[in-house]
Amino acid sequence: MLGTFALTFSFACGPSDSMTGSSEASTNADDDDDDDDDDDNATTSAMTDPSAGGSMGVTSNGDGDGDGDGDGDGDGDGDCDFICPTDEPMGSFQCDPGLQDCADGEKCTPYVEEPGYCCVDSTHCQMVIGEGQFGDPCIRDENNDDCAVGLFCMTQTSGSTGEGVCLNLCDVNDADSCANKGQADADCIAFNNGVLPLCESPCDPLIQDCPDGQGCYAGGDSFVCAVTLDGAPPDNGECYTIQSCLPGNVCVGSGSLEMGTCASERCCTPWCDLNGDPDAQCPEPTEDCVPWYEPGTAPPQHEDVGACLVPA
């Protein structure tokens, strides 16, 4: 396990078919940020051990709110998998980070085009300035990093600068993309409307089987290991990214929670076991252990996953 950098990275919008293709529906309950009408996501974080985080690429609409939009806030708006601020900017795609289709001596890297935005929202070609490999420490500035071609320097969020760790970019249209980069247990998940395709591996939110310092959080169509942000709150605490809740909790829109318990657009709520006693797992009187996935869509290993939400 690589444990040098306890870093988090903030994705924005969830998996997409290709860099220019349509974004697929989220499968996660309101790992989102708001109750608006956009497609914004919850954010995940990079792994202390880059080999530890993950998703299994399950396709479903698990959100537990009954509105069928996959976001868990009960508003029917289809918010994104990984938290993004309201009205996530749509940037430009000069190149495909999975295909690395830039000229010789250049690499395709995600960057922040929208001034002040938290997360990468666009891609462009930049000169190769380093040869950092998977798991190596790296430095990222506003436009580029010193990882090798085909890798991305993940810092505090995907749009942050400074020290980070090199993670593998991947091709969402190539089933062997991650295996070819030495991550045989990982799937390629394209975050931020396809801007940031990364190799991720699975975890279980009910048993929290990630390395120390990380939690198992909702991401992509399943669950990923993510480093918990410092000072992460428990149940009903305000959250911005999925890893800003304590492990064992998920960041959801306030409309999914008991009225008056969440003082912001998004708050943390516990994961729960659908086979367990909801009263023992969900502290708020009007909240129940609601299935994360729509009926019949949960993968076998996650059929028992629920979240403490107000039933639709």
Give pLDDT tens digits for 32-81: 333 333 334 333 333 333 332 222 222 233 344 433 333 444 333 333 33
Highest mean pLDDT pick, 22-31, 143-152, 217-226 = 143-152
- Is the separation of the CB atoms in 49 and 7 below 8 Å? no
Interval 175-201: pLDDT, tens: 999 999 999 888 888 888 889 998 877
> CA distances (Å), 96 to each of 20, 25, 123, 168, 195, in order?
9, 21, 7, 14, 8
| Rounded Cα–Cα distance for residues 309 and 147 (Å) | 41
Q: What pLDDT shows up at residue 92?
A: 78
DSSP assigned state of 93: B
Contacts of 305 (CB under 8 A, 6+ apart): 62, 205, 206, 271, 273, 274, 291, 292, 293, 298
pLDDT value, residue 200: 77
Quickly count helices (H) and strands (E) in the chain.
1, 13
**Could you tell me the CA-to-CA distances from 247 to 5, 217, 231 in Å, in that order?**
18, 7, 12
CA dist 101 and 192 (Å) reads: 19
Q: Is 36 exposed, middle or buried (0-12, 13-18, 19+ CB in 10 A)?
A: middle
- State pTM to two decimals: 0.64
Tens-digit pLDDT profile for residues 89-102: 566 789 999 999 99
Of the chain, the end-to-end C-alpha distance in Å amounts to: 42
- pLDDT, tens digit, for every residue of 9-29? 444 333 333 333 333 323 333
Q: Within 13 Å, how many C-alpha atoms sit on residue 147's CB side?
A: 31
User: Which residue reads 């797992």 in tokens?
Assistant: 281
**For residue 30, what are its two tokens?**
């309101």
Q: Region 275-294: what's the mean pLDDT? A: 91
- The domain locations on the chain are 106-198
